[in-house]
Amino acid sequence: MSSFFSKKIKNPYLSLGFNLVNALLVIFLFTFYVSVAQDIPFRKRLAEMACIGLNVGALTFCIGYDVHLFFHIELIIRLPGEVGRFRAKEVLMTRKFVSAEEAVRWGFVTKVVPHDTSMEATF
């Protein structure tokens, strides 16, 4: 059973828009809370926080997208999709130590090499 939030968005610009709208919602709610709690002007603080948040979001998107285009590297870690939800939760929530053999079997890594030959194996 998959939920709406576990589906991968294929269009990167749709993903950017979705994330920026979510960021604006969080900024709006947080700024409203701070404005009421500290009795400061809401509009000025909202404009300032939205400008910072949207610029940081757009910049990180551009960096990630460029890295993906030029180096063919995914910067987003999709651990549950790669190793399964149960194993991902087990490792992340319990801080369980995973041996090298277990990491290969579970799909965390694709290859295990001896420590003294690790540099040669990467190149």
Q: What is the mean pLDDT of the chain?
A: 80
- Mean pLDDT score, 57-74: 80
- Identify the pLDDT of residue 71: 77
The pTM (predicted TM-score) of the whole model is 0.52
> Domain boundaries in the chain?
1-76, 77-123
DSSP per-residue codes, 70-104: HH----S--HHHHH-HHHHHHHHHH-----HHHHH
